[in-house]
Structure 1
């Protein structure tokens, strides 16, 4: 009898944990704020690669808010540069080079967010991880 009771208690505890985890995970509001703010939707993810060996060093993420007409960008480290203090940078501007916003330095998680107002225009974005590896995109995400 003790073994059955113990198994039942274990099963009930596991079910309670699973239910509470599901409730917590499912409780996130639909408009949860991302790294750029609640009205932004991710529109692009781009890998940054080492110029010498081709290994991935970072990730550039681009977001857009239709309510503000602004784009936002962040650069994350990847592999040995993820969650480690290292040089990370991000630059965003309108396709014509105006309205530039940049953030760079020794960061543990990411550089940015940086913003540019570019309704009905293309943007330029660049990620740098570490200082000598970059990924630049010109005239992208045209609105």
Structure 2
């Protein structure tokens, strides 16, 4: 009888743990930093002149929203620490520019631009004096 109670107790505990794990799991279609319909189309390191990487510029696109999105993350000593971060996105002709800049812990952005049939310009800065600029990229 004691063995049956122990087995029942252990089975109940196992069920409780597995239910907690399933309930706490993120859904398979979790939204990215720009939103659920966006897919990453470019990842670009931000580096000093000596090649030391300080950040990452990421570009996303949503075919349903017909917009591009960009973010700038810190890297190395600038990752997950409060530091100057900036991200800018615009159409290739410079119109529609959106910028997010300041002292952020994780990332600057997201910023968005609609540029159907055009190229875009994007730039990321981490820290204040190290910038990566890309002109006329992700043309569509």
- TM-score, length of structure 2 as denominator length: 0.83
Once the 2 structures are TM-superposed, how far is the Cα of residue 120 of structure 1 from its aligned partner? 1.4
Q: Could you list the runs of 5+ residues in structure 2 that have no partner in the other structure? A: 1-9
Partner of 1:73: 70
In 2: Cα distance, 1:33 partner to 1:18 partner: 24
Q: Over the residues paired in the alignment, what is the CA RMSD in angstroms?
A: 2.4
Residues 9-58 of structure 1: per-residue CA shift (max 9 Å, x gap):
8xxx99x9689657754x5232x211111111111111000124x11100
Partner of 2:28: 29
Partner of 1:4: none
Counterpart mapping for 1:42-61 below 5 A: 42-52=40-50, 54-61=51-58
Residues 38-84 of structure 1: per-residue CA shift (max 9 Å, x gap):
111111111000124x1110000100010111100000000000011
In 2: Cα distance, 1:127 partner to 1:142 partner: 19
In 2: Cα distance, 1:89 partner to 1:95 partner: 19
Alignment equivalent of 2:36, drawn from 32, 35, 38: 38
Partner of 1:140: 137
In 2: Cα distance, 1:65 partner to 1:95 partner: 18
SS in 2 for 1:131: coil
- TM-score, length of structure 1 as denominator length: 0.81
1:116 and 2:113 are equivalent in the alignment: yes
Partner of 2:7: none
